[in-house]
Structure 1
């Protein structure tokens, strides 16, 4: 049973930067295991859901004031080789004054680099995972809050309240997995009545959406003087998605929103690099999400690990409670595998791993070649909108 207090993907999962990526900047913080795992997962997800995940090239204009060229080259070399890249093209160096990708960039930036990552429809990724689980027998309960959980006779007794009807039901479970993201500690403390030595650190990440202001399908990754990087990605055909910020947050996750200073910050960084400068009037809308990062006591929010940690509460003879701290959208599948590994001793008949070779609903496309698939469908059904194919495969 999946108990989701709001709608599917209503929180952090749909307010991301819409990327399946290794996390190039995490190499600076020596997160080699995390980057390698994310790069491997990038390949797995590209195979399993090519209708909602597709390759994208990223142009990184080089600014010698921020990071030296040798460091950028080293990072990109590792990025190309850590995860066994198979489907995506390799990094290359660009002369921004002659390459078409450099046309929108200010002339002061002469050199750049181009590398590969992937775009994802993040909300749809959540939904097709839920659909896949439902097809395999899971019960998906959206708009149903877990209001209480207590151990009784070797099982969990879990109370769930449907927010639409107000009806409360109770179910018995052999294990409870707490994957509540920003609310993980609330579930431990208030709902389950337990204690934890671990915490999540809430970090707000905001994005702005503006009209697309360059030609081509490539995205851009630009550096700022504070050592942060900002993505400028094509979005919904004729728009651009710009983000993200990293701001400590101590409010209610439900109330998060981008503030004026964050919008100005993103515009300022874009205007440092691009000939076509943005103004506040260009911003069509903004959105903000709360990233529930595992609190590793790092001083800088950007340096907080994006890795995930598990806490298993399973005293002798008691039903297990497994809580998940941290994580990122790219590694969701691997995180789920590791979570099941932790509770496997309580389920002797648990089957073997299989998701790395499976397809998510709509993703069973020959050679994972979505462009070919879309073209073939367009010729056979010329009336069909491409947006439907990108949603349903």
Structure 2
């Protein structure tokens, strides 16, 4: 017979072997599960990316089709007032149904840059108005002049310091140091944050939504303007901006007189020089998977108008800035951001005055 001490040693070895094997099996099972989960997520990610790029290509085709002459036998769609709506005005960020449908789980929003403030076409006088509007009614005139001087030094062609401004001597003291552009054209909207004082001035503002550096438009089209751009315009108030957004869901704004029906006269004095009714050839296209809903069957039956009336919980999407010049030439992609912050896509937060949309 085996002595008790030997039997105890064997038992301990068996137990330790069992523990080691259990740990190894657990680790192996965990790794297999992790690998399977990773493969599944990778597959889902590749599938989503393929759907996003498909939707982006369909959006590009939509913009090219917009420049194609309408067929002679196609009858225009009229609204309740017997008016033909401008098809280009639908590129104001509303979720779109495309002629060549995108994957059904994808949301497509297109923003015409005619609805943004062009930093490369802005006059100093108008920049001053934006600065004063952003600072509020109790702004310090000296601060305004310092910001204008900093802007001038950044965009002029020399190293001479404007009184109150900043040139390379100042920017080289920062961490990390950099040099001013010294050119009148900014390369990107975010570049404005590099100019002394402007990061604080526009803190909390979605700059990509409010501004553009592309195109030749010096005015903002209210039919396609983003909330962010509207709220920076002199003479604009939050309720007035919401009424513009509410109105354009039903009718186009074609003249200053129609805008004046929404905006009080004293506000229009400041606002009207900023407004125009042209479109551009530059667009920001956002594509992203739709947020999951509790009832998929009800979701599939909703119209574009229904979707526009519900606030979208998604805040980021894949974005391309593209330039579309004609129906027979592919778009020129100017900028890509896979994790772009969307402009404010919420439905109107104010109701129109009674009778404004009355059908005669």
**What TM-score, normalized to structure 2?**
0.23
Larger Rg: 2
Q: Is the helix fraction higher in 1 or 2?
A: 2
**What TM-score, normalized to structure 1?**
0.22
